[in-house]
Chain A
Amino acid sequence: MAETILTLAAPSRARTTRRRHDWTPDLLIAPALLAMIFVMGFPLLYLGYMSVHRWSLIGFSPPRFIGLANFAALAGDERFLSSLTRTLYFTALGLASNLPAGLGIALLLDQKFPTRNLLRALLILPMVATPAAMGLVWVVMLDPSLGIVRFLFGLIGIQHPPLWLSNPALVVPTLVFVDAWMWTPMVALICMAGLASLPADPFEAARVDGASAWQRFRFITFPLLTPTLVVAAMLRIMDLLKVIDIVYVMTGGGPGHLSETTNLYNYLVAMSYDKIGYGSTVALVLFALVLLCTGVLVRLRRMAAE
């Protein structure tokens, strides 16, 4: 009994290895671990297995081992390659819009004024609103004939704004805009948390020295906030590379395939075209892409910290 309490207080390796192994923590975590292995660990292994097979659910031909043929096919798959560049474009546009806008909003709401907390609370609403439903609401708002967006453009003198969702050049930026509407508040809230934790001393010193507001931002706030921004960027990258919900709902990948992201193409290949094996390959590549991009960012962050 006494040992257990001591272990509870200070889990020291020496003590636990010398005494009988305490199974309690393992038993507590086991059910969750088993569940995760069942719904995540095993499926991921199975995904790897399927990716080296020609696999179809319709018909009677059993899965056939084809080695790395699926991976080789990716290189010649125009639709896949263009979806990949599109996804990277989507991600770049998303980051370029979310981070500055989020930081700006954070700076604005970092002021002390009445109703500030109310505004902060309300700011969470776009990111929790059901994306599928909000995507449809945006379709209605962007409608070329009766949409509110057309009306707003009319107010500033543009009577015939472009067809947001059917213009090949504008469909991705429009989708990025809707995504930004949902997720810029998250970046803003993360930045606000970062701002609140900054030390006050450098700012006072800068004020005493007569630094302007811009100088204080450029040389104090921004450098101190960089780690926070990297975290926000990392979270956004993970989700931007995987964007699918609003694309599926708002354009279905159209016009043509001009707004088809890799995740959407992946869904279509596996679920609509019944190419389970090839779809698994695409999923693995997409997963690897997310890992790669986050990994690069983590590395950059470490280098910046040194």
Chain B
Amino acid sequence: MSTTVRPAAPEAVASGSQPRIRRRPWLRRASLRRLGLVLAAWVVVAAFLAPLAWMVLGSFKTTVDFLAYPPVWLFPPTLGNYANVFADNNFPGYMLNSTIVAAGATLLALFLGIPAAYSVARWRRTALGMLLLAARMAPGIAFLIPLFVMFLSLHLVGSYVSLIASHLIFTLPLTVWMMVGFIEAVPLEIEQAARIDGCTVVGVLFRIVAPLTAQGIAATAILAFISSWNNFLFALVLSNEHTKTLPVAVLGYIGYNSIQWGTLMAAATLITLPVLVLALCVQRYIVRGLIAGAVAG
């Protein structure tokens, strides 16, 4: 199935040898079966996106439209849910918390992780390897119980410090893992030339390696930010009423007696949308990041 197009080489050679406009092979062989496959691909991806679409759609529904059965697809949209989100529940505060924690955990991870990655990439220092692996395999709770007790005795439970420090458990391995790959792609000759010209190692790192891997650093930063922003369990254990992040705060919209459907959807949209946009910017690197362990469940 997957292989029908793979040996495209002979055709490419053929069309290359003939002085005519190269037509796209899929058009030339546009059989019904082929069209069916393309359609199937679209349907599958649409099915995966449907819950996200339903969430965004629901966030613009009034309560009446939301409770309608069968569900309504066309309705006069309302911004009331978004107004509700910002009116109650200190949502902007939680958004600020999430931003502070995610930005803090990301910047700290870059600051610590890039030199470490440079060391790993150029001198094969593997001491971090074991810890990196442990971070991927250990359940988050295995770190959280001792960290909770430790932060408790330091009077740091509920502080940004405890949240940022604990998020390093996944942002730092992610940063090292991603950056080693990017740094290894930088040609060694440039670094050597700089060293001969009298540049220090730190100088090489900041003036040569960092600018040359700027794109990689940006991708890494975004992935670290997303993994911190999405994290639920760590904030559940280590945050308090004032430092609660969005994934924990959103639980507040499902109460025991009433669920504010539209408001819940609006809040979910506001939490998720920034992540989706950021992720699309770095979609090429997403899987690599996830392999490193963006999830600390």
Q: Does B265 contact A (CB under 8 A)?
A: yes
Residue of A nearest to B132 (CB): A36
A77 interface residue (CB < 8 Å to B): no
B: residues with CB less than 8 A from A are 1-9, 24-26, 34, 37-38, 40-42, 44-45, 48-49, 51-52, 54-55, 58, 66-71, 108, 111-113, 115-116, 118-120, 122-125, 127-128, 131, 134-150, 152, 165-166, 168-169, 172-173, 176, 188, 191-192, 195-196, 201, 205, 226, 229-230, 232-233, 236-237, 246-248, 250-251, 253-254, 259, 261, 264-265, 267-268, 271-272, 275-276, 279-280, 283, 286-287, 290-291, 295, 297
Q: How far is the CB of B260 from chain A (nearest CB, A)?
A: 11
The reply to whether A44 and B275 contact each other, CB–CB distance below 8 Å, is no
Min distance, Cβ B237 to any Cβ of chain A, angstroms: 6
| Chain A residues within 8 Å of B124, by CB | 11
User: Known interface pairs A26-B125, A137-B55, A270-B141. Does A248 touch B116 (Cβ–Cβ under 8 Å)?
Assistant: no
State the interface size on chain A (CB cutoff 8 A).
111
Q: Given known contacts A130-B246, A207-B7, is B44 in contact with A44 (CB within 8 Å)?
A: no
CB distance from A10 to the nearest CB of B (A): 10
A90 at the interface (CB under 8 A from B): no
Are A31 and B115 in contact, CB atoms less than 8 angstroms apart? yes
Contact B122 A25 (CB under 8 A): yes
Q: Are the CB atoms of B37 and A213 closer together than 8 Å? A: no
Contact with B along A1-34 (1 / 0, CB 8 A): 1001100110100000000000011101101110
Contact A138 B196 (CB under 8 A): no
Which B-chain residue is minimally distant from A283 (CB atoms)? B142
A139 at the B interface (CB under 8 A):
yes
A–B complex contacts, Cβ < 8 Å, 13 sampled: A8-B188, A24-B123, A33-B128, A46-B146, A107-B2, A119-B45, A124-B279, A124-B287, A130-B275, A137-B51, A238-B136, A267-B236, A291-B137
A40 close to B (CB within 8 Å): yes
- Known interface pairs A130-B229, A181-B51, A243-B297. Does A8 touch B146 (Cβ–Cβ under 8 Å)? no
Cross-interface CB contact of B297 among A107, A124, A242, cutoff 8 Å: A242
Does A39 lie at the interface of the complex (its beta carbon under 8 Å from any beta carbon of B)?
Answer: yes
Q: Are B128 and A36 in contact (CB under 8 A)?
A: yes
Q: Is A163 an interface residue (CB 8 A)?
A: no
Q: Are A290 and B139 in contact (CB under 8 A)?
A: yes
Cβ of A206 to closest chain B Cβ, rounded Å: 8
| CB-nearest residue of chain A to B55 | A137
Q: What's the least CB distance linking B68 to chain A, in Å?
A: 8
Structural contact, B149 and A36, CB atoms closer than 8 A: no
Residues on B with beta carbons closer than 8 Å to the beta carbon of A294: 137
Task: Determine whether A146 belongs to the interface, using a CB cutoff of 8 Å to chain B.
Answer: yes
Q: Is the CB of A140 within 8 A of B265?
A: yes
What residue in chain A is nearest B247 (Cβ atoms)? A132
With the chains together, A145 CA to B248 CA distance in Å? 26
Contact call A263/B125, Cβ cutoff below 8 A? no
Interface pair B141/A111, CB less than 8 Å apart: no
A245-B2 CB under 8 A given contacts A31-B116, A130-B275, A134-B272: no
Q: Do A140 and B261 have beta carbons less than 8 Å apart?
A: yes
Determine if A109 and B41 form an interchain contact, defined as CB atoms under 8 angstroms apart. Answer: yes
| Contact assessment for B191 and A8 in the assembled complex, using a CB-CB cutoff below 8 Å | yes
Known interface pairs A46-B149, A136-B253, A270-B145; A32-B272 also in contact (CB < 8 Å): no
Task: Check A44 against B134 for contact (C-beta < 8 Å).
Answer: yes
Q: Are B115 and A32 in contact (CB under 8 A)?
A: yes
Q: Taking A213-B3, A238-B136, A239-B297 as contacts, is the C-beta distance between A44 and B233 under 8 angstroms?
A: no
Name the CB-closest residue of B to A126. B48
A158 to chain B, nearest CB (A): 14
Evaluate contact between A185 and B48: CB separation under 8 angstroms: yes
Evaluate contact between B290 and A47: CB separation under 8 angstroms.
no
Within 8 A of B (CB), among A90-125: 105-116, 119-125
Is the CB of A193 closer than 8 A to any CB of chain B? Answer: yes
- A140–B141 touching, CB < 8 Å: no
Looking at A68-76, A78-86, A166-174, A216-224, the stretch in contact with chain B turns out to be A216-224
Q: Which residues of chain A come closer than 8 Å to B137, judged between CB atoms?
A: 238, 287, 290-291, 294
B134/A128 in contact, CB under 8 A: no
Is A25's CB under 8 angstroms from B254's CB?
no
User: Complex: how many Å from CA A248 to CA B254?
Assistant: 13
Judging by beta carbons under 8 Å apart, are A132 and B250 in contact?
yes
Q: Closest Cβ of chain B: how far from A216's Cβ, in Å?
A: 5
Q: Is A190 an interface residue (CB 8 A)?
A: yes
Report if A129 contacts B (CB, 8 A).
yes
**A 196-238 to B, binary, CB cutoff 8 A, 1 in contact else 0:** 0000100110110000011011001100000000000001001
Complex Cα gap A108–B48 (Å) = 14
**Known A-B contacts A44-B134, A190-B287; A25 and B139 likewise in contact (beta carbons under 8 Å):** no
Task: From known contacts A133-B247, A239-B295, A242-B139, infer whether A186 and B290 are also in contact, taking CB-CB under 8 Å.
Answer: yes
Given the contacts A133-B271, A137-B55, A200-B6, A249 and B251 also touching, CB distance less than 8 Å: yes
Q: Which residues of A145-165 have CB atoms within 8 Å of chain B's CB atoms?
A: 145-146, 148, 151, 154
Contact A25-B119, Cβ < 8 Å, known A121-B283, A248-B232: yes
**Across the interface, do B139 and A266 meet the contact criterion of CB distance under 8 Å?**
yes
Closest CB in chain B relative to A195 CB, distance in Å = 6
Contact of B254 among A116, A126, A136 (CB under 8 A): A136
Q: Is the CB of B113 within 8 A of A112?
A: no
Say whether A287 contacts B139, CB under 8 Å: yes
With known contacts A121-B283, A130-B230, A137-B54, A46–B150 Cβ distance under 8 A: yes
A274, B295: Cα distance in complex, Å: 25
Bound-state Cα–Cα, A4 to B201, Å: 10
A217 to B133, CA, bound (A): 34
